Structure 1
């Protein structure tokens, strides 16, 4: 399922990822887990800034595209151009569009077609996969 490290600019083996990520980050970013809803402090982060990949620091989303979806995960209606990639995820007996970091392949979450205008998209992202850098 998901993405292969061979496709990305940053390639590390499992041991190397474990050295730079917390256990929770490793589970989400490298093993495609999902954090429990309402557990990320970033869900209620409203300051101006940029959300970057927790694994490699690539800018992924800006605070200007963040909205409160009520789902319990940080949600955005548009990524930074070139920041993310998508793959088809057919796990859990359903088909969803997985969102991953374009530089390291880290699993971030999923994108749905129930977001606000202007895109109509909801990028539902695991907060543990992000770091927030205030402006």
Structure 2
């Protein structure tokens, strides 16, 4: 279950600005906005390292689980640590999807679909604005 970090919108905005997050990060992580496809800084990013939550720094994905899904968002077939990602039903926009959130702070990350590669068959489709990359 998500451990919600209690902060005001102003506090989240200040924290994200301090971290040098892109302008859309607040709307994506705290209000479940979505960046346009093929516009995020990590969509075509292949440097070895780890992807963490931009809000709290929790480790979310390893670069060796990233793949080119052709969807326009960074995609991964597995979370870095079991329990790092929380899932919940998203009924917005007229269809049912599975929303993904940082289990540590509740930040909206994106969605997960069951059309990914082996071995999991999952496609964690993430917003670049919700991620922070740490090179190896």
When normalised by structure 1's length, the TM-score is: 0.91
Deviation at 1:69, TM superposition (A): 0.3
**Structure 1 stretches lacking a partner, 5+ long:** none
Aligned to 1:18: 13
The correspondence of residues 39-58 of structure 1 with structure 2, limited to 5 A, is 39-58=39-58
Q: Distance in 2 between matches of 1:132 and 1:70?
A: 20
Deviation at 1:47, TM superposition (A): 1.2
Aligned to 2:119: 118
Secondary structure of the residue aligned to 1:41 is coil
Q: Distance in 2 between matches of 1:104 and 1:9?
A: 5
Correspondence 1:27 to 2:44: no
When normalised by structure 2's length, the TM-score is: 0.91
Residue deviations 1:31-75 (CA, integer Å, cap 9, x gap): 100001111121111111000001110000000110000011000
Deviation at 1:21, TM superposition (A): 2.1
Aligned residues: 130
The correspondence of residues 48-127 of structure 1 with structure 2, limited to 5 A, is 48-80=48-80, 81-127=82-128
Secondary structure of the residue aligned to 1:18 is helix
Secondary structure of the residue aligned to 1:43 is coil
Aligned to 2:132: 131
